[in-house]
Amino acid sequence: MSENLNSNDIDKDEFNVNTEDDYKDLIIKLKEIKSAIALLEKTIFK
């Protein structure tokens, strides 16, 4: 196994530097998932 799996091999262009917006997007997605789970729980346990 001569593969080199160092993080240095990854191009910096693959990552978005604007992490604050990424975190905001993730929080919005998590809130949507939370709402969907709550709705499913209400539906299942009726």
Per-residue pLDDT reduced to its tens digit, 22-43: 899 999 999 999 999 999 999 9
**Terminal alpha carbon distance of the chain:** 55
pLDDT for 19 equals 86
Q: What is the residue range of 31's domain?
A: 17-44
Q: How sure is the predictor about 20, in pLDDT bands with cuts at 50, 70 and 90?
A: confident
Query: CA 22 to CA 29: how far, in whole Å?
Result: 11
For all residues of the chain together, what is the average pLDDT?
79
- In a domain, residue 11? The reply is no
State how many domains the chain has.
Answer: 1
pLDDT for 6 equals 54
- In a domain, residue 39? The reply is yes
> What is the DSSP code (8-state) at residue 45?
T
pLDDT for 31 equals 98
Q: How sure is the predictor about 44, in pLDDT bands with cuts at 50, 70 and 90?
A: very high
